[in-house]
Each structure stands twice: as structure tokens, then as C-alpha cells.
Structure 1
Amino acid sequence: MKWLQIHITVDQAQVDYTETLLSSMGAVSVTLDDAENQELLEPLPGETPLWNKVIVTGIYAQEDGEEIDVAALETFIQAQLPGAPLRSELIEDQEWERTWMDAYEPIQIAEKYWIVPEWMEAPEPDAVNIKLDPGLAFGTGNHASTFLCLQWLGKTDVKDKVVIDYGCGSGILGVAALLLGAKKVYATDIDPQAVHATKQNAELNGVLENLYVGLPEEFNEAFKGQQADILIANILAGPLMELAPEFAALVKSEGEFALAGVIEEQVADVSSIYSKYFDILEVEHREEHWCRISGKRQKH
């Protein structure tokens, strides 16, 4: 079998219509991609941010002996989306799952500290190896903000500590904390899929027994009356600033914290709000714009 791909470049406002159009014409899959190399901030769990210009791609099965009339298909699409750049291509059949899996490789965070896709062998079996299914939710270690948080955990004394992973995504940070010796991790996310992914990845790494994960209202109930030794939050600057008083209440006197999902231009604003409750000790950069802010809870 061969596959026909139709690529159409449209404005953000036309994306929903284009997706619907391609699906209604029999596309077995519709995907979106950036048309202009536009940077996007890391999304909150459950969000799907879009670029200003988007390449919408429809994939059609080209059965042997039942060829698609590509010219007629293109003519119809162009009539519905006049002026939208369009191109098509035929691609040979391949093992799609294997192709997706081949895009991932083990990531070294530090000495004896790795992220390893669950289907691969660990490069160093005796290291701290976080096994991960990258397809479940946000947080694979490839993104700069996730890497910065993992790096910070690796150089922070988490042994026998209670850790909060706020905005847990795939659960990679909470799992890492437990593999590094944390006593208990309380994780939370606004996306039910992230809650499921965190449980699954914790089980994959053999640490589910020491991890609690739930939606924010469930987390608040489970953690009521407690304070953590360490809080780590990899979300976005806006929610981080709103959550500063809540985070302050969740962390023990002189407890440690790390915040990520912040770009360089936002560091001053985030630090200004957090400095009311926390001593800012370090701002670390990665890949030019992404930053991690860390420090300690002020004595109280």
C-alpha cells in the first residue's frame, strides 16, 4: 500500500475548517505543523497552542489497484480554500509505530542519570535510569524546561524528602525524585490524561507505591495539613505567579523549590512575586530563552 499526503498551509483561524474538510474527504489522519518556525511557549496540560501559520496534512490510503485521483482532490480543496498553498506526495508503506519509536533516544541528564524510552536498553544499567513512555503526556526530557528540572533534582538532596510535583504531565519529575531517593512524591495536574500517565510511568519504574497523583482538588484534600521539603513546578509563568501564595503555604520553612516553563523575559516578574516568600538563589538558562528559578522558602 502507498499513502497520499496532502499538505495545505493556512492561517490559524482556518485550521479547524481545514481539518474537518480533509477528514470529510476520507483522510485517515490529520496532523498540524508549524509553517514559519514560530516558537511556542510550553503548553499547560490539556492545551494545544497553534502557530500563526499552520501546515495541515491529510493522509489518505492508496490501495493497490484503487488509485486516488490526486488532481481532482487538489482541485476540490483549492476551491474550498482559494489561495492556500497546497502540495501532495506519495509515500511508501512503512512500520509507523517503529518509525515513531526510532525518533527517541536515551537522554543523559548528568553522570549516572538517564531518561530511557521504555523499549530501549539503558546505556548504563547501574545508573539512575528513568524509564518513560514518551507518548503519554507532556514531559519527555527533550524540552529545555523539563531538562532543567531534572538537572536540578539530580544535584539536590532529595533523599528521604517529601516532594511535590505540581503540573506533573508525564510524571517524569516525580518519578525521578523517587528514583533519586525521595520518601514520598505528591503529584498533581489539571489534565486527567496526565494523572493516568504519571501512574503508568511510576508503575513502569517500580515507584508507584510511594507516589500519590490526582487532580488539583484531589491533591489539596490528600495533602491537607502537610508541608513538603521540596516543590518543583514545570508549567508557565502566568500560573506560576498566580500560585505563588499557595506554593508558599505548601513548602516547609527553608524547604527548596524549582520553577520552570519560564522564558528569560519573564524571570524578573516571576522572581519579584516569589521573593515575597522565597529566597531566590539561582537562575539557570538552557537553549537561550528557557530558564529555571530555584531557591529556598524563607524562615517562618
Structure 2
Amino acid sequence: MWLSVILQADAARAETLSEALMEHGALSVSIDDADAGTEAERPQFGEPGMHPASLWDHSRVVALFDPDADLASALSAAAGEAGLDAVPPFHIEEVEEQNWVQLTQSQFDPIRVTDRLWIVPSWHAAPDPDAINLVLDPGMAFGTGSHPTTRLCLEWLATSLQPGQSVLDYGCGSGILGIAAARLGAGTVTGVDIDEKAVETAADNARNNGVHLTLLHSSTALDGQFDRVVANILTNPLKMLAPLLASHIAPGGRIALSGVLEAQADQVIAAYAPYIALRVADLSDGWVRLEGVRPEQTGP
């Protein structure tokens, strides 16, 4: 058993208080929105290159302690280091020992992408054995199919990809999009990522699904053009990658981009305008999928 101490804090003090709690014996600390689940809930979005948003005005700091910890001393010392005159209002909850593997697994059920495409954790039976079932467990690399942007890209592959076409998945993460492309009949699939761990994870997931992906670190030169290019990253890196990704679309080929908030769509469209015309093709929970087609070559 552990003790979970839940304290109230404002945006200016939450991070400092969290750091002080760690210094005084907390095993872990997290910060979330104290107004979550109410009309005052305020979602936060951010990405590399963007100025970090301030924390919630009403933040909740959750610190986990051993049951024999001297909570009174720890909280008093942490509050003092955080510049508070007194310990903020708090309450304590007991956290019982659990089978954490089983609990984690119970939170991930099979995900239906389309009628013929499912994502199924390895510990689950496939709901539709006749469908294309991608076996993918939550891991260190981004992309389990639960995020709206991943699903937007999977839906595009399921409806856009023709058998035998070549696919480039830039920012492959777990490899889920490349694996889906291979299972949907792609001729060749290349995945690229900036993270070596992601490349390794994608290779493992590809083997588990019985498909072959050509996987490259982003520092490796990428050659050739592809019938389908997909990138599920974030707005700023997508903007910087515009000339690179556009150069790898084959004549008549298509591109789909996600990881873009609806309010950011025009920025990405403008970044790609010198190379290819993009449009907002779909929307899910505030995220968009942008699509474009490279014209067929004309003339001699």
C-alpha cells in the first residue's frame, strides 16, 4: 500500500511544489487540471518549438509516498521551499497493491478502425477473425491506434491505398501505419523516425505481424518516390519537412498529414503550398488530416 497526497495549487506554484515534494520523499508526482470533468476544464496542447502553455489556474498536485513516510514534515518542508506560507489544502488516499500488468492490459481493448481493419492487443482475441487484425501492444514508441491522429491516418490508408503501391511512413513511431499499409496490400513500405528506439520498436512490431518494413533512422539518406506518403507528427516538424516530404511523392501520388490541430491547419497548408496543394480532408476531436495529390507529369 502507498499513500497518495492530493494538494491544490495554482499555476505559478504547482511545478515548484512538485519538485520540492520529490526532494522530500515523494516516490512520484503528477500535475493535472483540478477542474477536469467540469465546464471549467481547460485542455492543453503543445509541441516542440512552441512556447509552453502555463499550467492550469487550478492545478492538482498528486504525490505518492511510502506508508511510513513522515507526511507532515515532508509537506511542510516542500511548501516552504515552494514559497508558500502554509501547506495547501490536501487530502490523502490509500493506494493498494495491484497487479499493474493486468490493470494496464485491461485499459486497452481492440480498436475498430474500419469494418476490415482492427488493432488488437496481443492478450485479446480478435473480435473479427476475418478482418485485418494488427497485433500491437502499448510500448515506448508513439502510436497504438487510440489517438485521433493515428486513426485518421489509418482510415486514409484503408480507403486510399491500392494493392502493390509503395508507401512512405515518415515519423513511423511504433510502425503501426507501415504495418497497416503492408497488411492492406502495399508493395513496399518504408518507415523513417528520428528516434532509434522507435525504429527498433517498429521492427519488433513488424515481425510480430509477419510483415517486412524497410526502417531507417532520419539521419540516413532517403531515396526514391512513393505512391503514398503519410506523416503523423506535429505541426512544427511537418512544416520544416515540407520540401523533403513533397520531393518523395511520386507523380500522381498522394500525401496525408496529421498531428495537426484544426487551428494550425492553415499554417501547414501554407508551408506546403510551394510544393503541393493540401486541403483539410477529415477532422476528429479537434485534429485534422490534410491531404494532397501530386499532379501527373505532362509533356516529354
TM-score tier, shorter chain, comes to 0.7 to 0.9
Distance 1:51 1:120 in 2: 40
1:189 aligns with 2:176: no
Residue pair 1:7, 1:55 contacting (<8 A) in 2 also: yes
Distance 2:206 2:46 in 1: 23
Is the partner of 1:21 in helix, strand or coil? helix
Partner of 2:38: none
Partner of 1:72: 73
Partner of 2:123: 119
Distance 1:128 1:292 in 2: 23
1:203 aligns with 2:207: yes
The TM-score with structure 1 as length reference comes to 0.84
Distance 1:23 1:214 in 2: 39
Residue pair 2:21, 2:75 contacting (<8 A) in 1 also: no
Distance 2:200 2:18 in 1: 28
Amino acid at match of 1:22: L
Give the 3 Å change call, closer, same or farther, for CA 183–137 of structure 1 in structure 2: same
In structure 2, list runs of 5 or more residues that go unmatched.
36-40
Give the superposition deviation at 1:31. 3.6
Structure 2 residue aligned with 1:87, among 88, 91, 103?
Answer: 91
Distance 2:216 2:201 in 1: 11
Amino acid at match of 1:142: S
Residue pairs, 1:215-254, within 5 angstroms: 215-218=217-220, 220=221, 223-224=222-223, 226-254=224-252
Partner of 2:135: 131
Distance 1:41 1:158 in 2: 35
Give the 3 Å change call, closer, same or farther, for CA 11–246 of structure 1 in structure 2: farther
Distance 2:46 2:124 in 1: 27
Give the superposition deviation at 1:35. 4.3
Is the partner of 1:89 in helix, strand or coil? strand
Residue pair 1:43, 1:235 contacting (<8 A) in 2 also: no
Distance 1:231 1:9 in 2: 46
Is the partner of 1:155 in helix, strand or coil? helix
Give the superposition deviation at 1:140. 1.6
Provide, for residues 213-265 of structure 1, a one-character-per-residue CA deviation record: whole Å limited to 9, x for no partner: 232112x2xx32x1111100111222222211111211111111101111222
Provide, for residues 87-109 of structure 1, a one-character-per-residue CA deviation record: whole Å limited to 9, x for no partner: 33212221122212211111101
Give the 3 Å change call, closer, same or farther, for CA 118–274 of structure 1 in structure 2: same
Amino acid at match of 2:253: G
Partner of 2:173: 169
Partner of 2:295: 298
Provide, for residues 100-147 of structure 1, a one-character-per-residue CA deviation record: whole Å limited to 9, x for no partner: 221111110110211111221111112111111213221122211111
Distance 1:34 1:195 in 2: 34
The total of aligned residue pairs comes to 285
Give the superposition deviation at 1:168. 1.3
Distance 1:122 1:13 in 2: 47
Residue pair 1:34, 1:51 contacting (<8 A) in 2 also: no
Residue pair 1:12, 1:50 contacting (<8 A) in 2 also: no
Give the superposition deviation at 1:55. 4.0
Give the superposition deviation at 1:153. 0.8
Residue pair 2:136, 2:144 contacting (<8 A) in 1 also: yes
Give the 3 Å change call, closer, same or farther, for CA 91–275 of structure 1 in structure 2: same
Amino acid at match of 2:81: Q
In structure 1, list runs of 5 or more residues that go unmatched.
none
Distance 1:91 1:262 in 2: 37
Amino acid at match of 2:73: A
The TM-score with structure 2 as length reference comes to 0.84
Provide, for residues 122-179 of structure 1, a one-character-per-residue CA deviation record: whole Å limited to 9, x for no partner: 1111211111121322112221111100111111124212211111122111111111
Is the partner of 1:217 in helix, strand or coil? coil
Amino acid at match of 1:125: P
Is the partner of 1:278 in helix, strand or coil? coil
Provide, for residues 254-295 of structure 1, a one-character-per-residue CA deviation record: whole Å limited to 9, x for no partner: 1111011112222223223334333446521112x2110112
RMSD: 2.6
Amino acid at match of 1:258: A
1:60 aligns with 2:65: yes
Amino acid at match of 2:28: S
Partner of 2:3: 4
Amino acid at match of 2:55: N
Give the superposition deviation at 1:85. 5.0
